[in-house]
Amino acid sequence: MRFIICFIGLPCRKSDGGGCAVGESIQHLKARAVLVDMEEGVVNEILQGALREVFDSAQLLTDVSGSGNNWAVGHMTYGSTYREQIVEKLRKAAEHCDCLQCFFIIHSMGGGTGSGLGTRVLSLLEEEFPEVSRIVTAVYPSADDDVITSPYNSVLAMRELTEHADCVLPVENQSLVDIVNRIKRMAHGEKPGSVIKKNSTIISNKGGLSGAEKPFDAMNNIVANLLLNITSSARFEGSLNMDLNEIAINMVPFPRLHYLVSSLTPLYMLADVNVPNRRLDQMFSDAFSKDHQLIRADPKHSLYLACALMVRGDVQLSDLRRNIERLRPSLPFVSWNKEGWKTGLCSVPPVGHSHSLLALANNTCVKPTFMELKERFTKLYRKKAHLHHYLHVNGMEQSCFSDALGSLDALIEEYQHLDATKDRFIPDAIRLSIAS
């Protein structure tokens, strides 16, 4: 195994058909995963669910009280209390990997455990495994989030992500909700010729089995599909495999600007989904459509620093090159990296589909998301609302808030500086003539 997934405060339930060797049952597989949550209810639910045999119970860590939607409690209090146990579980998981390339950290940004303890684990990984890439999938709260302090938690976590992560794949709750609602409308036959079986795995983690849909199952499944695609080259053979550590090397030209916009096509990827397959060329167009992105943004009206295409299924290299050449004129790249494409081809498609595509774009379109987050943070911080809950935590000071806001301001300014060069023509440097 080449990667370890660490879930903090965000459960994600999914398996990928075709991942088992012939004759191997799911009971004999153990995920290289560490599950951490300071509220035991979610982890207990996983242990009683359909995938309970996949997770090693020795690699789970829970408490009973939770972090109370407080970043400081998760980061300072629980981070200090459970530091040694977390490090030990991570080391144990790493010892079982024959070629460790990457850590995946999956956490929410709005709550206390996900934002606080999630970013504490990120810094622990940097200390204990400095040479191993750290890729974070961070779920950002929507504007109408019911956690009042989520702007504080998100901005405090943003500083840690900017400083300690190699790549961050931001996912917005509102985008997930929009995608799920579109899928449900299709399930009720809103679009002619498009049918999704009711109670399918798209909307329920139980597939076609009876049982009520649980909150957030469909949203978690989309995030899980993102991971299945990004790790496909590490799990299956392909004609152009992409090592996980190549993502940061090729996609991040500046160390702080490592936030990658992800888009998936198809978004419904399971065998019990009866939707006419999209043509291959249309699939590439979909990958650059706003409807297929996991954050609300429009990369085509912003500046690309780099782009990665990770394709699964019976797709030829010539198909990949043809579509890149077709799309290239409509995608504004920085003048000094117009050839900034990274590609991967995995021969094994998702269950029920002939091919799929994950696009990762390092694009300045993430700036509005950060600006909106800053605005929500400022509304609270200007009045010093709820601040006392954080300052009562041992080790937490008010300077943490101002430093986090300053880090976010600097990040936004860097994206603005790049955006300002979008319409500015910069000619190529004069090539040197070599005397013969």
Tell the residue number behind the tokens 């995946």, with chain if given: 104
Task: Kindly state the average pLDDT of the residues 69-94.
Answer: 95
Tell the residue number behind the tokens 């013969």, with chain if given: 436
Task: Kindly state the average pLDDT of the residues 173-199.
Answer: 69
pLDDT the model gives residue 2: 55
pLDDT grade for 8, boundaries at 50, 70 and 90 = low
pLDDT the model gives residue 175: 92
Q: How many other C-beta atoms are found inside a 10 Å radius of the C-beta of residue 37?
A: 26
Task: Kindly state the average pLDDT of the residues 16-27.
Answer: 38
SS3 265: strand
Task: Kindly state the average pLDDT of the residues 23-52.
Answer: 78
pLDDT the model gives residue 359: 96
Residue scoring higher pLDDT (28 or 364): 364
pLDDT the model gives residue 212: 53
Question: Is pLDDT at 314 greater than 60 in this prediction?
Answer: yes
Could you tell me which CATH class the domain 369-421 is placed in? mainly alpha
Question: Is pLDDT at 63 greater than 60 in this prediction?
Answer: yes
Q: How far, in Å, CA of 313 to CA of 291, rounded?
A: 22
Query: Which one, of 238, 323, 332, 248, lies nearest residue 286 by Cα?
Result: 323
Residue scoring higher pLDDT (179 or 422): 179
pLDDT grade for 276, boundaries at 50, 70 and 90 = low
Give me the percent of the chain exceeding a pLDDT of 70: 81
pLDDT tens digit sequence for 100-152: 889 999 999 999 999 999 999 999 999 999 999 999 999 999 888 889 999 99
Task: Kindly state the average pLDDT of the residues 318-336.
Answer: 93
pLDDT the model gives residue 189: 62
pLDDT the model gives residue 14: 40
Question: Is pLDDT at 284 greater than 60 in this prediction?
Answer: yes
pLDDT the model gives residue 403: 97
pLDDT the model gives residue 267: 77
pLDDT the model gives residue 154: 97
SS3 312: strand
Q: How far, in Å, CA of 229 to CA of 387, rounded?
A: 40
pLDDT grade for 268, boundaries at 50, 70 and 90 = low
Residue scoring higher pLDDT (101 or 324): 324
Secondary structure of 116-162 in HEC code, one letter for each residue: HHHHHHHHHHHHHCCCCEEEEEEEECCCCCCCCCHHHHHHHHHHHHH
Query: Which one, of 358, 357, 345, 349, lies nearest residue 238 by Cα?
Result: 345
pLDDT the model gives residue 422: 78
Question: Is pLDDT at 275 greater than 70 in this prediction?
Answer: no
